[in-house]
Amino acid sequence: MTTKTARTKPTWPPAPKLINISRWLWIASAAIGTLRFVVQLADRDMLITEMRKQQPNLSQDEIDAAVSGGIGFGLLLGVGLVLLYALLAHRMAQGRNWARIVLTVIGAAAIFLGLVRLIAVGSGFDTAFGVEVSPIDLAVGTVTMVLDSTALILMFLPSVAGHFRKSAVGQQGTTGGS
């Protein structure tokens, strides 16, 4: 008779409150950004008009098919983005430093692009280049930029730095990187 040994999952120290807040801010930012994207995808007439400008030689059926395919792909991309942010935020809350680094890179890029958008709108560059940024899009972009900034800062406060060091030491004997 053979006995099976129970495989135990590694345990992580509980996440500090500020790390949990950071986790939910990352997820909220991704969800709000995806919601903004879905609202833009819902404007089918605008998408058809843009497609007609870019591809004037396509028939209406081809334009409709391309727009429908683009909307479907966009929705999949949006859901995937929220799931990716949730996974990374969860791993970061478990003390995984690699997830904190990935979120830092993504967040810094999002903040940079948000600042560029604000500067472009404030200086009039957006209209000079024919790019329309609606006030709602600008407001939502600003909100997600503030959420990303806050989440990023919370991950690197000195009071939570030990969470990542302790978990790295505790994971040395475990296998797998998840």
What are the boundaries of each domain within the chain? Answer: 17-166
Q: How many CB atoms lie within 10 A of CB 88?
A: 22
Distance CA 156, CA 97 (A): 11
Integer-rounded Cα Rg, in Å, for the chain is 22
Question: For each of the chain's 178 residues, which pLDDT tens digit applies?
Answer: 555 566 666 666 688 999 999 999 999 999 999 999 888 888 888 888 888 888 889 888 988 899 999 999 999 999 999 999 999 999 999 999 999 999 999 999 999 999 988 888 888 877 777 777 788 888 999 999 999 999 999 999 999 988 886 654 444 444 444 4
Rounded CA separation 88/30 (Å):
11
CB 13 within 8 A of CB 163: yes
The residue written with tokens 């792909």 in the block is 73
